[in-house]
Structure 1
Amino acid sequence: MEVVPNPVSVGPVQIGRGKPLVLIAGPCVMEPNDMTMRIAVRLVAICGELNVPLIYKASFDKANRTSGSSFRGPGLEEGMNVFRRVKAETGLPVTTDVHETHQAAPIAQVVDLLQVPSFLSRQTDLLEAVAATRRPVNVKKGQFMAPWDMANVVAKLQSFGASGTVLTERGTTFGYGRLVNDFRAIPQMQASGAPVVFDATHSVQLPSAGEGGKTTAGQREMIPTLAKAAVAAGCDALFLEVHPDPDRACSDGPNSLQIEDLPSLLRVCLRIREAISA
């Protein structure tokens, strides 16, 4: 029997079967000089024109950077202030990643969806901490995990009383420094009872392939190909890191989409979504 995942509410946005295709998008990390806000405003305009439900994403602390000297973001307190401003000025629901158990409760005061990074997807203490906030949780599938193994993650969160669970596919490690996508993962993870997001930007990462292994490289040109394939495979939402000048982004620029390329990609994805829903 087919398992139909229950929709998950993130503020006014619903992710799940029978709901519109959702976009989770923003910069990899909160950047200085008002860049975080500028990207939010541009995304509101793009998604408003196309009638695409939007959840705004940005990281207040990138704790898993390849190099210890890489830019990490403004930190928890300032990050909370940034999210308050984004919500006040745009009305958007927001999401961010949580790396430490002590971050969950305070950031949940302002964030609508808590994200567990792929490297931490099996960390029971972290899953318990985010579930305890009673905010919905998005867990990125570990690059080292099979899609069906994520059913255990869903079960953990349910046992901890999570208010809703979403899973994200972002590629599987193949050898060293390469990620591959098996699109069977989308229906296989939906079988766990959770809606599934496809992360088209982190899926094109080339881990430790830049600057002599000190940074992550990426194949930005492949983002549209993977995004369209994922929508055809039935994903419930797309996750895209975007930036007006990816080559100068503070983090993950090589695998970020140029924000002005987003409207045309979304139009194609919406047509695919309509076709498979017919």
Structure 2
Amino acid sequence: MLPDYLNNLFSKQSYNADNFFLIAGPCVVENEELVMEVADKVSGICKRLEIPYVFKASYRKANRTSASSFTGIGDETALELVKKVGEKYGLPTTSDIHAHDEAAVAAKYIDILQIPAFLCRQTDLLVAAAETGKIVNVKKGQFVSGEAMRFAVDKIKKAGNNKVILTERGTTFGYQDLVVDYRNIPAMQAHGVPVVMDCTHSLQQPNQTSGVTGGNPQLIGTIAKAAIAAGADGLFIETHPDPSCALSDGANMLKLDLLEHLLESLVKLRRAVV
């Protein structure tokens, strides 16, 4: 059962309370056409399947491997587009922030502040996000155990905000791969917060010599199904009409046309395990 702050977030949507919730969208705001196309398609699917849905797109990508990588179209322009998506389709929205002074700015446009995995221990960032009063979704660092994420939760709650989500996104395995330990899902749920499985970033292959992160998108369904079986409260899936042309993280995004069939399978699996 979702906590009140998530039920309130989804109050404009009609959904099955026994379903997982979905956070999905393109990795980054590339242009208005892209975010509207993805939101239109995904919101329609989720409405039919009664899945509560949060639209996601980063307004800026700060943690890029190469200095030549695409980072965004401008913070205010991108945030305005994310807000426009939320208003047009009646959706809550999320994006990641990278520094404490971004929290209050981003909070004017979005409903959930996402803390990147590399920054999950950054106290000033967590506190600044908490002080906005928005829901704070902290991605578990690739170097942190599920049990240790209680310290991130504690920092946010001690700042006066009990609206927390934790997201599992894999653990570093060597220099150029990640592995998912599904024990982290119940371990983080033990902190009294909903837990999301990031089904796309957990399949990244970082630190490639090309300076562009690789991935294994053919395994997104496997990761998602295992997460539902393990009791995840929500799923995070980055999706794009043509990942091969995406300006960021195309190597591990799900092709938009494949999302509907996957979600249909996951809803059936959810019914079987709840």
Partner of residue 32, structure 1: 31
Q: Matched residues in 1 for 2:103 and 2:86: separation?
A: 19
Residue 242 in structure 1 maps to residue 233 in structure 2: no
> Counterparts in 2 of 1:69-84, with a 5 A limit?
69-84=68-83
The answer to whether the 8 A contact 1:8-1:166 is kept is no
Partner of residue 253, structure 1: 250
The answer to whether the 8 A contact 1:25-1:241 is kept is yes
Distance 1:33 1:164, change over 3 A: closer
Residue 152 in structure 1 maps to residue 169 in structure 2: no
The answer to whether the 8 A contact 2:55-2:86 is kept is no
Q: Matched residues in 2 for 1:231 and 1:8: separation?
A: 21
Deviations 1:45-64 (A, max 9, x none): 11122111110000010000
Residue 213 in structure 1 maps to residue 191 in structure 2: no
Q: Matched residues in 2 for 1:248 and 1:266: separation?
A: 23
Shift of 1:109: 1.1
Deviations 1:173-232 (A, max 9, x none): 0111110001011001000111100000001000023xx331000001011001000000
Counterpart of 1:167 in 2: which secondary structure? strand
Counterpart of 1:104 in 2: which secondary structure? helix
Note the residue ranges of structure 1 that are not aligned, 5 or more in a row. Answer: none
The answer to whether the 8 A contact 1:169-1:198 is kept is yes
Q: How many aligned residue pairs are there? A: 269
Partner of residue 202, structure 2: 203
Q: Matched residues in 1 for 2:158 and 2:116: separation?
A: 20
Distance 1:203 1:80, change over 3 A: same
Counterpart of 2:214 in 1: which secondary structure? strand
Q: Matched residues in 2 for 1:90 and 1:78: separation?
A: 19
Counterpart of 2:94 in 1: which secondary structure? strand
Q: Matched residues in 2 for 1:208 and 1:99: separation?
A: 20
Shift of 1:89: 1.2
Partner of residue 226, structure 1: 223
Shift of 1:38: 1.3
| Letter in structure 2 aligned against 1:235 | A
The answer to whether the 8 A contact 1:26-1:56 is kept is yes
The answer to whether the 8 A contact 2:170-2:179 is kept is yes
TM-score, normalised on structure 1?
0.93
Distance 1:118 1:273, change over 3 A: same
> Counterparts in 2 of 1:70-149, with a 5 A limit?
70-149=69-148
Higher alpha-carbon deviation: 162-171 or 75-84: 75-84
Deviations 1:109-154 (A, max 9, x none): 1211110000000000000100000001000000000110001111
Percent of matched pairs sharing the same residue: 46
Partner of residue 64, structure 2: 65
The answer to whether the 8 A contact 2:19-2:267 is kept is no
